[in-house]
Amino acid sequence: MLIIAQELCLDCGGCVPLCPVEGLFLSFEDLFCDQALCTLCGACPEFCPVRAITLELKDAV
C-alpha cells in the first residue's frame, strides 16, 4: 500500500496530477490516498523530492 508521511509532506501538490487514477487528494494541508484506487504504479513516490511517499509491498514475492 501507499504510505504518506504527513510530517515530511510539504504540501506542494506536485504528486496529485501524476496519479493516473486520480487517487491522490490534497485537503487543506494533508495529502490523502484512496487506497482502493491506488495501483501502486510508483509515480508519486518517484516524484516526491522529500520522500514523504513510499510504497509498502507487503505481499510482494
Partner 1 sequence: MRYDAVVIGAGPAGSMAAVEIARAGFSVALLEKHSQPGTPLCCGEAVSKGALDRLMSLKPDLISCTIDEIKVVSPGGKAITVKHPGAGYILNRPQFDLELARQAVAAGAELLTETIGLQLSGETAFESLAIDNRKDGPGTIDARIFIAADGVESKVARLAGIPNLINVRETESLLQYRLKNIEVDPALIEIYLGRRIAPSSYLWIFPKSDREANVGLGVSTRLTQKFPPEQLLNDFIGSRFPGAIEAGKFCGLAPRYQGERIFRLKNLLVAGDAARADDSISGAGILYALLSGRYAGMAAAAFLRGDIRQEAELDQLYPKKFLDEKGEELALYRKLRNIYDRLTDDDFDEIIVALIEFFAARDSVAGLKPGQILAGLIKTRPKLLKYVRHLW
Q: Give the whole-angstrom CA distance, residue 50 versus residue 61.
A: 28
**Contacting residue, 5, 14, 32, 37, with partner 1 by CB under 8 A:** 14
Q: Smallest Cα–Cα separation from 5: which of 45, 39, 36?
A: 45
Instruction: Give min distance, CB of 15 to partner 1, in A.
Output: 7
Q: Are 9 and 24 in contact (CB under 8 A)?
A: no
Residue 12 sits in the site that holds partner 1 (CB under 8 A): yes
State the DSSP code for 17: G
x/- site string to partner 1, residues 15 to 34, per CB under 8 A?
A: xxxxxx-x--xxxxx-----
List interacting residues with partner 1 (CB under 8 A).
10-20, 22, 25-29, 43, 46-51
